[in-house]
Amino acid sequence: MTRVVDTALVALDEEATARVSAPESEAVPAAVASRPHRPARWQALGPEVLVGIAVLFNLWVLRSQRLTVAYPNDLAFHRKMVWVATHQLVNGDLPLTHWFPHLSLGSPLFVQYQSASAMLTGALGMVVGPQQAFSWSLYLLLALWPLCLYWTARLLGWSRWECAAAAAIAPLLYSIPGARGFEDQAYVWLGGGLWSQLWAMWALPLAVGFSWRFLTQRRYLLGAVLALSATIAFHYLMGYLAALILIVMALLKPSDLPRRLGRAALVGGCALLATLWVTVPLLLDAKWTALNEFQVGTTIDDSYGARTILHWLASGRLFDYGRFPVVSILLAIGLAVCVARFRRDERARLLVSIFILSLLLYFGRPTLGFVLDLLPGNRVLLFQRFLAGVQLAGILLAGVGAVWTARLLARGAREMWPAVARRLAVHPRRVALGGIAAIALLVGVLAPAWSQLNAYGELNAQWIGAQRSVDATQGQQLNGLLRLVEQRGGGRVYAGLPSNWGYHFMIGGVQVYNYIENTRVDTVGLTLRTFSLMTDPEAWFDQDNPGDYAVFGIHYILTPSSLRPSVPVTLLRRAGPFTLWTVHAGGLIQVVDTTAPITANASDLGTTTRAFLESDLPARGIYPTVAFAGGAGATPTLPPGAVPAGPAGRVIAERDALEAGTAAAVIDAHRTSVVLLKASFDPGWTVTVDGKPATTEMVAPALVGVTVAPGVHRVVFTYRGFGSYPLLFAVALATLLAVGIGPVLWRRRRKHEPDEAPIAA
């Protein structure tokens, strides 16, 4: 059997030739001896068959992910982005220039967060519907990922069998609970829901493959630029990793360093030009982009340190958690093989270098903080996520290890049974049996992983099926209450926080505050999901303080039927296990007094404004202004120590359309006061008072306000996003056209020059 495997591997590998001659005592017929030793076309499809098996396995195990269902994780947030993108594209608007009002009191989310995947899927949603486009994108990107790994490995110059082995291993990762790498658990219903990273899971490997081809062979420049640009646009952290890998590639051959550095600069520079529409608005808005205070100093930001991670790696927990560590063993073999070939094989150097680079980044600050702090933008890097690079290199190394092991076993068998080997070598049809045996051998070795992933997939399918049943029953009851909110003119809904009863307020397996993301209703409570300046203060919302409901513009409370809110409320309607209450906190616009500013920045707004949220000032309509990021706070309307006599004013009429980026009110100010919009502050907000432009100011916790004189005024807030996208899109298009056409013109000019030698096998 092992000789058959070796015969198949050699015969089907285009980078190796089989030359086996029989001795005279065992001569073969002349007709057979004279026949060219080439396997038939169908016999040469062994690697592709193996890839097909991996894809079919994924298509079956992950089939439930194509279904429309409420999500318990970040998938709810991502689907909301797709829904918003579809809605705006249908109206002829660009999502990048619009306000996203649905989480943390709103933000320019399509600028601050990697949104290319949401816009692409939203465009598809114009044809098939946003929910269907989202669920099918999740399903197909996961299921077809082995094709991406096979393609990447081929671009790196590995044989078809090594590529196929890597593709077969790719869907079988199973890492420590809470891992956020390239395993299925990071993406599916039962997992983390990292949908935007799923797009980068395709783009990053291809960026590595195409960039390698260009640096070593001066081929596929357009592919390298497109793939690297896509990685940046789909996921900023994976784009960062791709850029670091590009630098490493240029350093792998010191004798060719100047030329490779030039080519790396060309790829990187063109990719930067092609993604200026992503980076320029993001950098301009960086001052107003909040850092998650609750992650600072945790493993999410800083990762786990070398000691813990190396223990996980050695024990198999990074690739084979809870099972026999077959992938980890193949990885170790592949790593040893590539280390042995390090000096003479650039492909081996590349895989080892990517693995070590990603592992060092994954170690994070507990081990290498003094070095990592030197990296540009290190404050916003989530070092835990660099597990993805470890796993990507690990899969390719495991593919190398699998094929090397098979060939080692085959050589041993050939030495033990030489007569059988000679007979098999001159019967091409038996090579097909060898291909089948090779596939069966690898599938058998990977059986524990296949079995575990199948069980996980079935459990995921059971949960999705159960959730769909609940969506069709209790979901309809809850949807009725949410439609009532919309019919009454809207208003924010509070359904608990992850830190209190809201975490256990469920519909099926989904928290109600997550379920609401299926609708157009705005919520307070699904915290720390955006980069809005209000994202950290929202986590300090005090549900027992009536004034906080006014701060956050909450007009409705949704509770379990057994729970009555602790603030004054009026029962609106019950439906099954859900109860909807109204809270008397006004609308999204309020007339308030302001006091001396609080000094804060994007990294401490939550902690610096917590005392205000826990005080009685919100209920009295008294708000501090904010001296933000070294700037001066707005002049308070109240003198120091003054006690206002009665409310600062009242709202006569109000019209909110935050989805369109506008809010307007007619107000009566009893004295010089501030008209406050309950939306997260951003410099894109503009305001007019009685038709005349006025200056916005930041009011605690991080809201938008404008000072007005006593009297009746019409105040209109309007959000205006970044306005130079047409120019940046033109730069991107011109760059890609130049990259696509330039090499063709260059080759025509130098068509008589010899091509560079291909890389060593």
Judge residue 110's burial from the number of C-beta atoms within 10 Å of its C-beta, 0-12 exposed, 13-18 middle, 19 or more buried. Answer: buried
> Each residue of 216-235: pLDDT tens digit?
999 999 999 999 999 999 99
**Side-chain half-sphere CA neighbours of 532 within 13 A:** 31
CA atoms within 13 A of residue 622's CA, in its CB half-sphere: 17
Q: Which two tokens stand for residue 755?
A: 């091509």
Q: Give the confidence band of 28 by pLDDT, cuts at 50, 70, 90.
A: very low
Give dist(CA 210, CA 208) in Å, integer: 6
Separation CA 592–CA 686 (nearest Å)? 19
Q: Residue 586 has what pLDDT?
A: 81
Query: Is position 527 within any domain?
Result: yes
pLDDT above 60: residue 20: no
Q: Identify the helix (H) or strand (E) that includes residue 686.
A: strand 685-689
Indicate whether 16 pLDDT > 90: no
Residue 24 has pLDDT above 60, yes or no: no
Which pLDDT score, from 0 to 100, does residue 755 have?
Answer: 52
Are 613 and 690 in a shared domain? yes
Domain final residue pick, 568, 583, 598: 583
| Judgement on whether residues 619 and 571 belong to the same structural domain of the protein | no
Q: CA distances (Å), 645 to each of 334, 597, 648, 674, in order? A: 77, 21, 8, 16
Sequence-distant (≥ 6) Cβ neighbours of residue 56 within 8 angstroms:
none
> Among 550, 583, 616, which residue terminates a domain?
583
606 and 713 together in one domain: yes
pLDDT at 422: 62
Within this chain, do residues 501 and 529 fall inside the same structural domain, yes or no?
yes
The last residue of one of the domains, among 583, 608, 640, is 583
Whether 169 and 399 have beta carbons less than 8 Å apart is answered as yes
Mind listing the pLDDT tens digit for each residue in 691-747? 999 999 999 999 999 999 999 999 999 999 999 999 999 999 999 999 999 877 777
- To the nearest whole number, what is the mean pLDDT of the chain? 89
Compute the average pLDDT of residues 460-483.
96
Please tell me whether residues 569 and 615 are part of one structural domain.
Answer: no
pLDDT (0 to 100) of residue 433: 57
Distance CA 303, CA 387 (A): 10
Same-domain pairing of 476 and 571:
yes
pLDDT at position 343, please? Answer: 93
Q: Of 134, 116, 384, which is closest to residue 235 (Cα–Cα)?
A: 116
Position 128 in a domain: no
Residue with tokens 């970044």: 722
Helix 195-217 vs helix 236-251: angle between axes, to the nearest 10 degrees? 20
How do residues 554-575 score in pLDDT, each as one tens digit? 999 999 999 999 999 999 999 9
pLDDT at 46: 80
pLDDT digits (tens, 9 = 90+) for 290-302: 989 999 889 999 9
Are both 521 and 616 inside the same structural domain? Answer: no
- At residue 262, the pLDDT reads 96
- Look up residue 38 and give its DSSP letter: -
Mark whether 607 and 715 lie in a shared domain.
Answer: yes
Angle at 720 between CA 717 and CA 722, to 5 degrees: 160
Distance CA 611, CA 211 (A): 52
Sign of CA dihedral 101, 107, 108, 114: negative
> In terms of domains, do 576 and 487 share one?
yes
Poorest-pLDDT segment among 24-28, 570-574, 643-647:
24-28
Biggest CA-to-CA distance, the chain: 115
**Measured in Å, how far apart are the chain's first and last C-alpha atoms?**
27
Please tell me the predicted confidence (pLDDT) of residue 331: 97
For the ranges 250-254, 380-384, 469-473, 518-522, the lowest mean pLDDT is seen at 518-522
List the domain range (segments joined by +) for residue 636. Answer: 589-719
The pLDDT, as a whole number, for residue 276 is 97
Residue 596 and residue 694 in one domain = yes
Give yes or no for a contact between 678 and 654, defined as CB atoms under 8 angstroms apart.
no
CA 569 to chain centre: 40
**pLDDT, tens digit (0-9, with 9 covering 90-100), for 280-336:** 999 999 999 998 999 988 999 999 999 999 999 999 999 999 999 999 999 999 999
**Predicted confidence band at 191 (pLDDT cuts at 50, 70, 90)?**
very high
Tokens representing 600?
A: 């804060």
Say if residue 421's pLDDT is above 70. no
Quote the number of domains for the chain: 2
Q: Is residue 112 part of a domain?
A: no
User: 602 to each of 101, 264, 289, 340, 610, how far by Cα in Å?
Assistant: 19, 35, 6, 49, 14
Band (pLDDT 50/70/90 cuts) for residue 434 is: low
Residue 290 is given by DSSP the state P
From CA 450, how far away is CA 594, in angstroms rounded?
63
Residue 737 pLDDT: 95
Task: Identify the DSSP state of 100.
Answer: B
The 3-state DSSP class for residue 664 equals strand
Question: Does any domain span residue 537?
Answer: yes
Tens of pLDDT, residues 115-135:
999 999 999 999 999 999 999
Residues 690, 609 share a domain = yes
Tokens found for residue 211: 């960039």
Is 668 in the same domain as 692? yes
Query: With contact defined as beta carbons under 8 Å apart, do 539 and 113 qualify?
Result: no
**Which pLDDT tens digit goes with each residue over 156-185?**
999 999 999 999 999 999 999 888 899 999
Residue 15 covered by a domain:
no
Which segments of 252-386 does DSSP mark as H helices, in order?
257-274, 276-284, 299-302, 306-315, 326-340, 346-363, 365-372
Residue located via tokens 């006593």:
710
What's the CA gap between 87 and 306, in Å, rounded?
Answer: 46
Q: Regarding predicted confidence, which is higher, 731 or 27?
A: 731
Beta strand 649-657 pairing with 662-669: antiparallel
- For residue 67, give both structure tokens: 């279904």
Q: Average of pLDDT values for 543-562?
A: 95
Output the pTM of the full model.
Answer: 0.90
